Amino acid sequence: MNPDELLTLAECREIDQTLLPAQDRFAIRITVYSLRYLTPVAEERGIDLEDLQPGDIYTWIEGDRSLQMEELNRPGFMVWYAQFLISSLEKLRQVAATQELTIKDLTVDQIINWFRHQVNQTIDANKKS
């Protein structure tokens, strides 16, 4: 998959313009990237993204030649990458549930707004403490 299809420069700029903390902007990028990366995994298995399981992700990664090469250079990379995708899938499930949509129907703006809401909730909670 072409990296530009996973996260465009325009989307990166849109995320940066949120002015959210750096860790949250990074999390948004990862979440959007994961949505795009995991879509063909679910499609190949004929299931919805919501039903994708960790084993499906590990199996897909094990078959990705480019990741196999990375694993040779950096042992443990494939496990780390699978865990990264699994964690992002959980965020996508949360966003979709909040929006009452399927994961595949989420937009970048909806993902950004969900993270923005999470940050605002944290700020509000900290003010009350």
Render pLDDT for 5-29 as a digit per residue (tens, 0 to 9).
889 999 999 999 999 999 999 999 9
Helix (H, G, I), strand (E, B) or coil at 110: helix
Q: What's the pLDDT tens digit per position in 51-73?
A: 999 999 999 999 988 888 899 99
In angstroms, rounded to a whole number, what is the distance separating the alpha carbons of residues 61 and 80? 11
Closest CA to 38 of 24, 16, 58: 58
100-114 pLDDT per residue, tens: 999 999 999 999 999
Does position 1 have pLDDT exceeding 70, yes or no? no
